[in-house]
Structure 1
Amino acid sequence: MGKILEINGPLVKLELPQTVIGEQVRVGRLGLVGEVIGREGETALAQLYEDTAGLRPGEVAEGLGWPLSVELGPGLLGAIFDGVQRPLAAVREHSGDRIARGVAVPSLARDTRWHFVPEPAWRAGTALAGGEVLGSVRETASITHRILVPPLLGGELLELAPEGDYTIEEAIGRVKLADGRIEKLRLFHRWPVRTPRPFRQRDHAVAPLLTGQRILDTFYPLLKGGKAAIPGPFGAGKTMLQQQIVRWCNAEIVVYVGCGERGNELTDVLEFMPELKDPHTGRPLLERTLLVANTSNMPVVAREASIYVGITLAEYFRDQGYDVVMVADSTSRWAEALREVSGRLGQMPVEEGYPAYLGSRLAAFYERAGRVETLAGGHGSVTLIGAVSPPGGDFSEPVTSHTKEIIQTFWALSKELADARHYPAVDWLESFSGYVSSAAKWWAQHVDPDWETARAEALDLLAASEELQRIVNLVGVEALSSEQRWTLEAASLIKEGLLQQAATDEVDSYASPEKQFALLAALLEIRHQGLRLVRLGVPARRLIQLPLLAQARRWKSQHGADDFDALKAKIAAIPAAFEPLLEEYGTPAAGTQPGEAAA
């Protein structure tokens, strides 16, 4: 036991000679929980995860003997935790609508009985390695929870419990370690959140994370096990885009971390998520979702911890062989927590007051993403998607610029597009993806070999239209040639008929890869047909007046995946829509191929 010496906001100096850096402590008469972050002689410096108002020097303090850890076992899915893995439902039963300081409730329910089915291959006397699958528990109707041996534990299996119902604290087996000690195996184990969970090796298999959002999947793809960022100013639609990803992505487990966001915004997420149906199974989406809620009015240090709690939970399900996507909203608030603590520590500030280690902390966090071969021999992945909230939409500020150097997919949101009601408001000029060549292999194998070529043509068209739009803004559209005016119209067709996608549209909220490519190919074919006629002398205004263009803008909302044949029929009829103009202005010159692109 020790005592409090000094208090500086969330930082408390303690007289605790035996503690080590990283150890959890309980402080004061309320038993506030914290973590040792520094030592000097007989004193320890701890950051507390709860408000220190009313705390006084001289009150008791004690080390708990373990680092900040999470409990990993059945009961995680469908739960809502705070930044240090306290279940908010249990906290509410204990202290009401407001979280009382010092409240201590177990992360996983101790009285729930789970039906455990052991793996038939295990027998007494067999060697057991860390990370092996002991058996399974049917946690929800959507997900089977695989019970793992703690990663650092291994030895000779002495016994394994038969199939039956057990609480998470009851022993389901015993293992004899190399030093002769005997350890009990349970349905759960603990793991320190700041230590990445081990795996055999990284797996370089290519599989895209399909979100059903055309601007993301077709233009700026993300692979399972990849790293992405969604930067954008207030009002650009970050939360809605994240919710679309959570709802439609082809990951098996979703971990959503609300880190320092406004309470009302996070409340919308907490109310929205339980009502959603999983489009892949028809079951409630919450059956395969984990929520970590740490709003801006909660203690700032717990905000810093919440990111690590979320990624550790994601790694745990990865080790079970699942594909996991973790959405962190937002890493800017996490970085602000780092800035506040470093300021109180008196550390030298650098860019905009952030600590010098901001870049390395961000890199270490994103490095925990990846597709791996697990210790049990299976394969799983953690895909990290971090939202960034740059003040005033300034992408040159430190958090955004450091993140941009680390991640490989950058979905930049534009306030101008959002103000124009163009959603998702992903800026096709600012965004990028480093996974295009890898994703192209998957698209060529599963959808169409021309995906990469069509994508590049569409992006070139969008870039050309931006240049032409600057000319129009200066001297007017009359200064453009017919070919340039058709380029502007074709780009507008791509923007409205492909890139815009309403989250509330029941037909178009999700677009399969096949539908995405069909629409892209169709709109590019319209561009090719029009370009051929422009070169024959047809005025651009005649092409712009064609009913086909207005119809093509509506195809995305008229045809879902189950109505694909009707969409293909309309695409096949595209050349016929240009026939009257072709007959009026003559046939193409010799050697000119239909669909030939502009030089």
Structure 2
Amino acid sequence: MKEGDELVGGDIIGEVKETKVMTHRIMVPLKMKGIVSSIEEGKFKVEDTVCTLKDGNVKHNVSMMQIWPVRRPRPFAEKLDCDVPLISGQRIFDTFFPLAKGGTAAIPGGFGTGKTVSQHQLAKWVDAEIIVYVGCGERGNEMTEVLEEFPEVEDPKHGLPLMERTVLIANTSNMPVAAREASVYTGITLAEYYRDMGYNAALMADSTSRWAEAMREISGRLEEMPGEEGYPAYLASRLAEFYERSGRVRCLGSDDRIGSASIIGAVSPPGGDFSEPVTQNTLRMAQVFWALDAKLADRRHFPAINWLNSYSLYTDTLSDYFNTQIDKSWMGNKIKAMTILQKESELEEIVQLVGPDALPERERVVLDVARMLREDFLQQNAFHEVDTFCPLDKQHAMLEVILRFHEKALAAVEAGMTLEEISKLDVVDDISKMKYVSNETYKNEFKRIKNSIDESLGG
């Protein structure tokens, strides 16, 4: 940028190294425009003038700081389709229920089902340049855990602490309700601000139920007419306003840059009741629903996402990306895996009545493969150095191995092999250890497992 250049609102006039991995781009305030009459270089305070614009007879002083009311959405040039996935490295999210950059997701679940741990995992591993983590009405020890853990976690992209690209907004449960109500708006405004710089930002709101409770308390003090369960009548519109501020956009300015702000909101329904107003109104807005299941959490299955109740409305939009960038069989394999899990759910009712031995061999194979999908694919250890993050190509390769086993096991049963003989094969143990194979060397190992499946099951 030099003197004489003509600028409009949103143009970048300079950069400041905010952290070792994040460059803060100084933008012209949105309502300003003009010709650069002077521009400075060096060290400044945020209030100091770094650039002067002349718009006719009007002179504008531009500083490094922008002031914006948090309840008002920041404008953009154009809203784009959400057709690029927000990759998290968590198999159940990426493979079964993907979220797009600029998309919205809700994680509802009762106490102890793993909402906070899921959001911590997403904050650590999603491929966004900026993470905004809002602890809205959470216990103080949870925010302390984030503050202690994030500076120690290594960012896989840069090898530096994750805190280098994270903004924390701490609003614990003992803080004033007005601050709690404002904390979520502050978070989404920051996400929009970084989006306008051309970054992909991801907002983790934990939890929107506490935000709704703050609205209920303020509404009660203002003596407003209560709605369902005492929440204000405008609860649905406030939630809609919040989630509508997400999106993948073409930013204001002359350089045609693209940024996104994704929202992942945790919901804490009392007693795990998904029919309560906050959960129901959130489901109307969010395009991805990751339903946490207390029974799965009790069985130590994490992430405790119920694959039969969850859904993603981005699946069709993102199918082209997965089929072209990863493998053309990605969507087909996902459908096959979901079909096996749904079939298992149907067979479980029969098993509970008469036991598994009463089932035909083919259907017992389905139960075994469904167990593999649940335990060896969907279940993921957040504290294991390899399994905590799984790249997309490894996810695809793992699913291919399990589906190959399913296909060959059915053929072997038809040829006269018993299920007991199949379950004693060494390859079954190899499949259970796939998730712990290094992300750099898995290809050769998975090839060996496929060959072993073919040899053991008469391929």
- TM class, shorter-length: over 0.9
- Which residue matches 1:123? 3
Q: 1:456 to 1:563 in 2, by over 3 A?
A: closer
- Which residue matches 2:293? 414
Three-state SS of the structure 2 residue aligned to 1:525 is helix
1:466 to partner: Cα distance: 1.1
Distance 1:415 1:492 in 2: 19
- Which residue matches 2:267? 388
When structure 1 is superposed on structure 2, of 422-431 and 465-474 the one drifting more is 465-474
Distance 1:244 1:571 in 2: 30
| 1:466 equivalenced with 2:345 (yes/no) | yes
- Which residue matches 2:215? 338
1:165 to partner: Cα distance: 1.6
Contact 2:107 2:265 in 1 (8 A): yes
Q: Which has the higher helix share?
A: 2
Distance 1:572 1:363 in 2: 52
Structure-to-structure mapping, 1:103-502, within 5 angstroms: 119=1, 122-124=2-4, 126-161=5-40, 163-177=41-55, 180-204=57-81, 206-376=83-253, 377-502=256-381
Larger RCO (alpha carbons 8 Å, 6+ apart): 2
RMSD across aligned C-alpha pairs, in angstroms? 1.4
1:291 to partner: Cα distance: 0.2
Distance 2:245 2:82 in 1: 17
1:287 to partner: Cα distance: 1.1
Distance 1:572 1:143 in 2: 45
Residue identity (%): 47
- Which residue matches 1:65? none
Query: What is the CA deviation profile of residues 296-317 of structure 1, one whole-angstrom value per residue up to 9, with x for unaligned ones?
Result: 1100111010000001111111
> Which letter does structure 2 place at the counterpart of 1:291?
L
Contact 1:559 1:567 in 2 (8 A): no
Distance 1:561 1:410 in 2: 32
> Which letter does structure 1 place at the counterpart of 2:52?
R
- Which residue matches 2:452? 573
Query: What is the CA deviation profile of residues 315-342 of structure 1, one whole-angstrom value per residue up to 9, with x for unaligned ones?
Result: 1110110001110000000000111111
| Structure 2: gaps of 5 or more residues | none
- Which residue matches 1:71? none
Three-state SS of the structure 2 residue aligned to 1:504 is coil
Three-state SS of the structure 2 residue aligned to 1:229 is strand
- Which residue matches 2:400? 521
| Structure 1: gaps of 5 or more residues | 1-118, 583-599
Distance 1:151 1:280 in 2: 32
Taking structure 1 as the reference length, the TM-score comes to: 0.75
1:207 to partner: Cα distance: 1.3
Distance 1:352 1:475 in 2: 44
Distance 2:437 2:159 in 1: 23
- Which residue matches 2:436? 557
Moved over 4 A (4+): none
> Which letter does structure 2 place at the counterpart of 1:493?
M
- Which residue matches 2:424? 545
Distance 1:405 1:479 in 2: 43
> Which letter does structure 2 place at the counterpart of 1:396?
S
Q: 1:330 to 1:205 in 2, by over 3 A?
A: closer
> Which letter does structure 2 place at the counterpart of 1:300?
V
Distance 1:571 1:295 in 2: 50
- Which residue matches 1:105? none
Greater gyration radius: 1
Distance 1:201 1:558 in 2: 43
> Which letter does structure 2 place at the counterpart of 1:308?
Y
Distance 1:142 1:235 in 2: 34
Contact 2:401 2:449 in 1 (8 A): no
Distance 1:547 1:467 in 2: 29
How many residues in Structure 1 have an aligned counterpart in Structure 2?
457
Distance 1:323 1:256 in 2: 14
Contact 2:82 2:247 in 1 (8 A): no
Contact 2:6 2:36 in 1 (8 A): yes
Three-state SS of the structure 1 residue aligned to 2:36 is strand
Three-state SS of the structure 1 residue aligned to 2:194 is helix
Three-state SS of the structure 1 residue aligned to 2:43 is strand
Q: Which has the higher strand share?
A: 1
> Which letter does structure 2 place at the counterpart of 1:171?
T
Contact 2:194 2:201 in 1 (8 A): yes
Distance 1:409 1:222 in 2: 7
1:205 to partner: Cα distance: 5.8
Three-state SS of the structure 1 residue aligned to 2:368 is helix
Contact 2:13 2:26 in 1 (8 A): yes
Contact 2:101 2:262 in 1 (8 A): yes
Three-state SS of the structure 2 residue aligned to 1:258 is strand
Query: What is the CA deviation profile of residues 172-220 of structure 1, one whole-angstrom value per residue up to 9, with x for unaligned ones?
Result: 1212345x33221111111110111111001226211110000000000
1:156 to partner: Cα distance: 3.1
When structure 1 is superposed on structure 2, of 533-542 and 363-372 the one drifting more is 533-542
> Which letter does structure 2 place at the counterpart of 1:391?
P
Distance 1:572 1:259 in 2: 51
Give the counterpart of 2:385 among 496, 502, 506: 506
Contact 1:559 1:566 in 2 (8 A): no
Contact 1:515 1:561 in 2 (8 A): no
Three-state SS of the structure 1 residue aligned to 2:67 is strand
Taking structure 2 as the reference length, the TM-score comes to: 0.97
Distance 1:134 1:404 in 2: 41
> Which letter does structure 1 place at the counterpart of 2:316?
S
1:533 to partner: Cα distance: 1.9
Contact 1:512 1:561 in 2 (8 A): no
1:153 to partner: Cα distance: 1.6
Distance 1:566 1:474 in 2: 40
1:438 to partner: Cα distance: 1.7
Contact 1:214 1:511 in 2 (8 A): yes
